[in-house]
Amino acid sequence: MNRNNPKLMITVFSILVGILIASQMKLNVQLLTPVTVKSIMDTRKEIDAVRNEISELEKIVAQREAELTTLESINTGEVNIIDILKKDVMENRNRAGYTAMEGPGLEIIMYDNIGGGIGLNFNDYIIHDVDIMNIINDLRVAGAEAISINDQRIIASSEVKCGGPIIRVNGKSIGTPFVINAIGDPQLLMAAVNAPGTYGDNLTKIYGIGLQPYVKDKVEVAAYKGSFKFNYAKPMEEGE
């Protein structure tokens, strides 16, 4: 074969140029992904997640700015640190349930189905601890800020359990009628225990349990009167 054959040289050169042009065109081609309902929903979820993260970061920034303002006020002598500590103690007592509260909300009166019902045995027409707990959980989900049962404040460590014909709450025995007071948005609380399909609605319609909710402009919730301490749990050290 003649290495100086011009036709061969042109052919090889043309092939090389063609390969280079094809590679360049491939790099510049924009890949188009078909838009589907799932891809739109996934994108929306990602956007919502980012927005929620931004919102949480903004809250943290606002909290740190408030703390910085407080520290600057203490440093300049405009604010007494003792007053700040007293305010923190009061806020923590309120959150822990050691302070009596009042506000708009719901009063719920619950009582056993005294007359019984067709096809029901004795345990079906009396109120059990699980009934009280489900009503309390529904109220919490609806945004109740403070709850009590027969003047017994419900806190994180409160126990509600059956004890024969009575129910024990915070170690105290209480009997029917059970009066549950809850502070929060009255309409949301009412829907949580009275709307069709809720646990409270099923109690009344299926088992004939008495459940009478009343919207009130002023509901009083008693303070927690017991004491609570950690026997096993302890705060984690920073860095653990």
| 231/187 Cα distance (integer angstroms) | 40
Domain regions of the chain by residue span: 38-79, 102-221
- The pLDDT of residue 240 is 59
Q: How far apart are CA 55 and CA 48, in angstroms?
A: 10
Terminal alpha carbon distance of the chain: 78
Using one digit for the tens of pLDDT, what is the confidence trace for 160-202? Answer: 888 777 888 988 888 889 999 999 999 999 999 999 999 999 9
Q: How many CB atoms lie within 10 A of CB 70?
A: 14
CATH number assigned to the domain covering 102-221: 3.30.70.1880
| DSSP 8-state code for residue 125 | G
Q: With a cut of 70, say whether residue 21 has pLDDT above it.
A: no
User: What's the rounded Cα separation, in Å, for the pair 79 and 82?
Assistant: 9
Residue 55 has pLDDT above 60, yes or no: yes
Q: What is the pLDDT of residue 96?
A: 82
- DSSP assignment of 148-193, as one string? EETTEE--TT--EEEETTEEEETTEEE-SSEEEEEES-HHHHHHHH
- The 10s digit of each residue's pLDDT in 66-105 is 888 877 777 777 777 777 778 888 888 888 888 999 999 9
210 in Cβ contact with 110 (< 8 Å): yes
